[in-house]
Amino acid sequence: MTAARSGPVNPLEVLARVRASRPVPSARERCEMCAEDIAEQHQHVVDVVGRGLMCTCRPCYLLFTAGDAELRYRAVPDRYLSFPGVPFSPGQWDELEIPVGLAFFFVNSVLGRTVAFYPGPAGATESELPLGVWDSIVAANPVLGTLAPDVEAWIVRMPDGRGAPAACHLVPIDRCYELVGALRLAWRGFDGGQEARELLDGFFADLAARSVPVGGGVGP
């Protein structure tokens, strides 16, 4: 039985606790391209064909930062935006038929379309449904069109209460996979449980602190 908690919960402290509980690697991490030692906090590139993230040193990362180049590997940028003015209704979310109130969307350049994933106890699950509703939201809000294919994602969290607005952010795609991995460890029961909800609160508080608000249908 878990002991009762006293006082308000700080979501940022919960997120920090989850990160701190991860096992310490037995050896230093290495760049997956040149095998040089890299720090625990490092940058990533995406294999756009295999859909994998690769840990890289700074010099290797910089080789793949040209956004208009036809490259198999692309550097994940460090850009955070929030879209407080973009309307997203519970009815639209219901039409997407995503079974949880959280999903991330990105443009897969190999497939030539937007794909959606949502977290759960087994990790990330891809939505098999057509994303016409989401595409219509992007078309009606040109500000969302700033997304870089393959390396950035829109992450949307629907509120528990019907009166609150949805949280919509543009984030580096590696943050989405970081969140999926953390939720997989914290998930309990059918809906994730209290620890998963606190982890989400901390994650979105961190996004809010990092993000530049964008609205009014005009890009940054």
Half-sphere exposure of 161 (CA within 13 A, CB side): 3
- Asked if 151 contacts 75 with a C-beta cutoff of 8 angstroms, the reply is yes
Q: Which pLDDT does position 218 carry in this prediction?
A: 37
Q: Where are the alpha helices (DSSP H) in 46-172?
A: 58-62, 90-96, 132-140
Output the six-digit token pair for 16.
């920090």
Q: Which pLDDT does position 106 carry in this prediction?
A: 92
CA 12 to the chain's CA centroid: 17
- Residue 26 confidence class, pLDDT cut points 50, 70, 90: very low
Q: Which pLDDT does position 65 carry in this prediction?
A: 86
- Residue 90 confidence class, pLDDT cut points 50, 70, 90: confident
Residue position matching structure tokens 């955070």: 80
